[in-house]
Amino acid sequence: MAKRIDVSDLNVYYGQFKAVEGVTMTVEPRSVTAFIGPSGCGKSTFLRTLNRMHEVIPGGRVEGKVLLDDQDLYASDVDPVAVRRTIGMVFQRPNPFPTMSIYDNVAAGLRLNGVKGRKKLDEVVEKSLRGANLWNEVKDRLNKPGAGLSGGQQQRLCIARAIAVEPQVLLMDEPCSALDPISTLAIEDLINDLKSQYTIVIVTHNMQQAARVSDRTAFFNLAATGKPGKLVEIDDTHRIFNNPSVKATEDYISGRFG
Ligand SMILES: Nc1ncnc2c1ncn2[C@@H]1O[C@H](COP(=O)(O)OP(=O)(O)OP(=O)(O)O)[C@@H](O)[C@H]1O
Ligand SMILES: [Mg+2]
């Protein structure tokens, strides 16, 4: 189920502006890869190219290749909507569908995929909420609005919604930055549980979080404002944090810039 991502020589544009340049990397399945780097270096932009979300932005354009196992995600016969279903995304601000119940939030993607029948839906909703470590807190109020949960619960609800459709990859853009430390640890535990089944990429500004939660870390950097962001290096997290190959990585991690 979990798949490998192979990116080669990717350039990402907003109109004429090249935001990210020349990224080549492999994201390993059944593991967590963290993206770190200073603000504006293109982490979110690059992340969104991995499930073809970038091109929904007017002027958004991508050059290069992204393979999911052997499938070229940008091949002309590939349906971007199907890609977005296979590669789920969790955003910085929890964004449950505000008027929908907790149950319907989790079931929404399944219904879009044509899953019918109360029994099947009940099963998947429970399994996903358990998977997101939220079931015990919400099982007695599944018909209440998702927007009535705490921020940390809403983020776990969004994760339940994302995993309900059994994606092959889960992309998370600063999923904990709006959360308190306890909810943050709950999400980190959850990421650790999920990685046995999924390929996970997480963007984070929190160095401790990257060190705690990821197996591999990619450091992105920016030469100057207005220049494209680049991947500086990607390696085992332990190595990036203890013995990086590039001085800029060490400077960033030790807080000398960014
Ligand atoms: N919708 C957009 N239109 C035009 N330029 C954009 C757009 N979104 C981002 N950019 C530009 O692309 C570059 C990369 O932005 P991006 O949001 O990917 O950075 P980031 O590394 O995620 O930063 P942060 O850590 O602050 O979230 C920046 O120069 C930014 O101004
Ligand atoms: Mg960002």
Q: What would the 3-class secondary structure string for 14-39 be?
A: ECCEEEEEEEEEEECCCCEEEEECCC
What residue has token string 């709006």?
A: 178
**Is the distance from CB of 151 to CB of 176 less than 8 angstroms?**
no
Quick one: pLDDT at residue 257? 64
Per-residue confidence of the chain (258 residues) as pLDDT tens digits? Answer: 789 999 999 999 999 999 999 999 999 999 999 999 999 999 999 999 999 999 999 999 999 999 999 999 999 999 999 999 899 999 988 999 989 999 999 999 999 889 999 999 999 999 999 999 999 999 999 999 999 999 999 999 999 999 999 899 999 999 998 888 888 998 999 999 999 999 999 999 999 999 999 999 999 999 999 999 999 999 999 999 999 999 999 999 998 765
Strand duo 87-90 + 169-173: pairing: parallel
Ligand 1 pocket mutation pick from 10, 14, 23, 232 by most atoms within 8 angstroms of CB: 14
pLDDT of residue 179: 84
Residue 129 is predicted with a pLDDT of 95
| Cα–Cα distance, 133 to 124 (Å, whole number) | 14
Neighbours of ion ligand 2 (CB under 5 A): 44
Q: For residue 55, which ligand has an atom nearest its CA?
A: 1
- Where do the domains of the chain lie, and which CATH numbers do they carry? 5-96+167-253 (3.40.50.300)
Q: How many CA atoms lie within 13 A of 206 on its CB side?
A: 17
Which residue of 20, 44, 204 sits with most ligand 1 atoms within 8 Å of its CB, as the best mutation to test the pocket? Answer: 44
pLDDT score at 45:
98
Q: What pLDDT, on the 0 to 100 scale, is given for residue 161?
A: 95
pTM for this structure?
Answer: 0.94
**Ligand 1 center to 208 CA (angstroms):** 23
79 in helix, strand or coil? coil
Q: Please report the atom of ligand 1 found closest to the CA of residue 47.
A: 18
216-222 vs 199-203, strand pairing mode: unpaired
In angstroms, the CA 200 to CA 123 distance is 24
- Specify the pLDDT at position 180: 85
User: Ligand 1: which atom is nearest the Cα of residue 174?
Assistant: 27
Q: Which residue is closest in CA terms to ligand 1's atom 25?
A: 39
Distance CA 91, CA 150 (A): 16
